[in-house]
Amino acid sequence: MKKIFLTVIALLSMASAQVFGMYGVTTDWINFLTHGNQFRARMDQLGFTLGNDTIKGTFGFRNQASYGGSIGDMLNTLDGKDYNFDPTISMGIGYTSSLIGIGVGYNATIGNKIYKFNGKAEGKPTQAVGHTPVLVLNALDNAFRMAIPIQVVHLADKDEDGTKASVTAVSVDSQFRYYTGLDFLPQIRLYLRYGYYGWNTESSGTKDKGKMAESFGFEFRLYFGAMVEEVALTPFIKLAYNGALGKQHNQTRVEAIKVLDSAAAMSANFTPTSYGERWATSAWDLTLAPTLGLTANSDIVSLYVEPSLGLKITQDGSATEKNVKEKYDLFYGAYAEIYITPLKNLEWYFEADINNGGTSPNNVDFAATTGITWYLPAL
């Protein structure tokens, strides 16, 4: 008990010293309970996981602006005056054992500055903030793992005429994994996603409310395993679906945190009725992508590559047409990770991802990050 108490004191002391954490608003939290002690510094994150065999914790920030950017971009100005400081500040604590592990986390995401009127004629700039509580659970000696982050954004205002307005966005981006222990079918993953974005107004005693967007999605993966000489093969099949609900919009995936970057919906002067158009056909997309994962290791370098090739079907939806033809696109991607470990506890990491998003052959997205990980001893 004394050792546990000292561990908690150490974690809280480091938090007060503003050490930085590395978990964001998505299902990255699923690795929290299985991560060893480490300090990580990458282009978009800076943080640690630290604890012992019973208790561990994390604290800090990660840059997750919806329009992209690295930690170095967070002090850039978009208008020469307001800083683009929009990190996700994360903190969490967890209990681990061979039977069960449970953790709770919290993220505060700082968004764009918005103008709030608070019943006055002129608005004042205010920093918008989103909140993401997280539940993490491991069981069966870490064979079963799940992470459920819930993103919540609520923004309210009142103009000088007394008109009140608010927008609320909630989204759940959950992940479930099961490691079977079988060589030919080592892992099964399921992602479940739900999002809602709505508004409320009150003017002269008359209340009104509506839904701007609502969506549901899932992703199911079956992993297989094999060895060819010194190369480990982990092919998997991915089936992903995202769709709009309610026929009121064409957004196939609502993410609450991204509302922070939508300044048009941040004051009592916005007109929510413009979002109330009822669509004749809902929008959705479906992706089926067989993927081959290959892993090769040496004493210093580890390489993981993941080429994929599949089919994406897209239904854009329509406000007027009931019979809209789906679009068929070839989906392709190439993902790679490189780990260089010159010393046992020090690692250089590089990650790159190229894909066409399944929309057209000329629409190619590229993303990459790099940094170091320093593996620390247990407390």
d(CA 249, CA 276): 8
Helix (H) or strand (E) holding 61: strand 55-63
Upper half-sphere CA count for residue 5 (Cβ side, 13 Å): 2
Interacting residues of 371 by C-beta distance below 8 A, sequence separation 6+: 40, 41, 42, 43, 45, 348, 349
Q: What is the pLDDT of residue 122?
A: 82
Q: What is the pLDDT of residue 225?
A: 92
Mean pLDDT per segment of 10 residues, for the chain of length 379 residues? 38 35 81 92 87 90 57 56 69 93 93 79 82 96 96 88 88 96 95 93 84 93 92 95 84 86 48 55 92 94 95 87 87 94 93 75 74 89
d(CA 33, CA 36): 8
d(CA 366, CA 356): 9
Q: Considering the domain 2-375, what is its CATH architecture?
A: Beta Barrel (2.40)
Strands (E), 180-298: 187-203, 206-223, 226-228, 231-233, 236-244, 284-291, 294-297
* Helices and strands of the chain, counted as H and E runs: 1, 19
* HEC-encoded secondary structure of 239-259: EEEEEECCCCCCCCCCCHHHH
113-160 pLDDT tens trace: 777 888 887 878 787 889 999 999 999 999 999 999 999 999 888 888
56 - beta bridge partners?
51, 94
d(CA 203, CA 201): 7
In the chain, what are the domain boundaries?
2-375
d(CA 287, CA 355): 13
d(CA 336, CA 108): 30
134 - beta bridge partners?
105, 149
**Coil, helix or strand at residue 268:** coil
The distance from CA 33 to its chain's CA centroid, rounded to whole angstroms, is 17
Query: If you compute the radius of gyration of the chain from its CA atoms, what whole number of angstroms results?
Result: 23
Write down the residue that tokens 């989103």 correspond to. Answer: 130
Q: What is the DSSP letter of 73?
A: G
Do 360 and 330 touch, CB atoms closer than 8 A?
A: no
Provide the 10 A C-beta neighbour count for residue 43: 16
Q: What is the DSSP letter of 7?
A: H
Q: What is the pLDDT of residue 259?
A: 80
Q: Which of 231, 213, 233 is nearest to 223 (CA)?
A: 233
